[in-house]
Amino acid sequence: MARRKAYQKIDINVEPFLSIMAIVLKLISLILVVIVMRIAMNPKAKRIVAFAGLYSGHGNTINPKIPSYIDCRPDGLTLYSNDLPKGTPVTWDDLQNPDNAVNRLLDKVQQRKDDEYVVVMVRPQSVKFYRTVRNLISKNYTIDVGYDAIDADFKVDWNAAEKALAISED
């Protein structure tokens, strides 16, 4: 008669599997926290608009508005608009005054909001100025705004841009 084979007890160690599962759960939790923080930081779901393609001339029937630019730098702001001298600098101390160039620019755009909008360009290390401008716009104005992140060494040739946009000072 055939004998039954004796079964050996097999010890299964599940610690490595549990360690991997703990890591996966932590990663999933981190991803959820990042998503929730993005929603919490931008509850109105403001869209980030690219700098290129915001404006393509006065004949554009889709977006006939004229842009004004606020360039956020680590050491201050630079304003570019038809109604201001090109490259108007604004320091942190200037920004604390109620009648500063940024408020005047935003007041002008607010009065002509059907024809104008603002583009805020954000450079690395300029978060202090960016947040100040963004809070100022969101609390006090109902204008169209585009935000664009650009490189720290990005050079803008405003004279060439004006010619390309067919915008000139009268």
Distance CA 75, CA 80 (A): 17
pLDDT at 116 over 70: yes
Q: Which residues, 6 or more positions from 106, have their beta carbon under 8 angstroms from its beta carbon?
A: 118, 136, 137, 140, 141, 143
Structure tokens at 108: 């002008």
Q: Based on the structure, what is the number of domains in the chain?
A: 2
Q: For residue 53, how many C-alpha atoms fall within 13 Å in the half-sphere facing its CB? A: 4
Q: With respect to residue 108, please indicate whether it lies within any of the assigned structural domains.
A: yes
Which sign, positive or negative, has the C-alpha torsion 79, 146, 168, 73? positive
**CB count, 10 Å around CB of 170?**
3
Give kind and range of the element (H or E) at residue 21.
Answer: helix 15-41
My answer on whether 70 and 28 are in the same domain is no
- 125 and 76 in a common domain: yes
E strand segments, 16-168: 66-73, 76-80, 88-90, 116-122, 145-149
Q: What is the pLDDT of residues 3-14, one digit of tens each?
A: 777 778 888 888
Rounded-to-integer distance, Cα 73 and Cα 90, Å:
10
CATH (domain of 95): 3.30.420
Residue 159 sits in the same domain as residue 75: yes
| Same domain, yes or no: 102 and 144 | yes
Domain holding 135, by residue range, is 66-165
What pLDDT does 57 receive? 47
Q: Say if 85 falls within a structural domain.
A: yes
Task: Give the tens place of pLDDT for each residue, 35-71.
Answer: 888 777 766 655 544 444 444 444 445 556 778 888 8
Residue 81 contacts by C-beta under 8 Å, 6 or more apart in sequence? 68, 69, 88, 105, 108
